[in-house]
Amino acid sequence: MAATEDLDALGILVGFGSRRIKDDNELRVDFGGNYSQRAADGINSSRQKWNIVWDNLTSANLITLMDFLEALGSHIAFLWTPPRQSTPLQWTIERGTLSEDPQEFMTSTVRVRFIQEFDL
């Protein structure tokens, strides 16, 4: 099922502490004498994961963001455009990674890990 929810539509930009992790799936066969061969595993063998941070969220932005993310859970895909990329991609939330940290002056920090999906 194609993603219809769009995180970009909320207009809440990710923080500078966010980072991308590239995860390549490969098939590997080991032969004798330290010889091996590798090949990409499938047509979508390179997947992005993002550790996302939103810093200094106001109460209104916190409620909007948490309502959006909690409604999705870890099984509903959504659209999001990563920093320095121009095309929205499909993502899910890695189970158990959504956290909220209250900060000083009535602000909060939210952390989560997104996993790129290749569903139809």
Domain boundaries, the chain: 5-23+45-116
Q: What is the mean pLDDT of each run of 10 residues along the chain (120 residues)?
A: 78 89 89 90 89 92 94 93 92 93 86 91
Cα 86–Cα 87–Cα 88 angle in degrees, nearest 5: 125
* Count of C-beta atoms within a 10 Å radius of residue 27: 11
The number of C-alpha atoms within 13 Å of 34 and in the hemisphere containing its C-beta is 0
User: Which pTM does this prediction carry?
Assistant: 0.81
Cα 17 to the chain's mean position, in Å?
Answer: 14
Distance between CA 71 and CA 88 in Å, rounded? 20
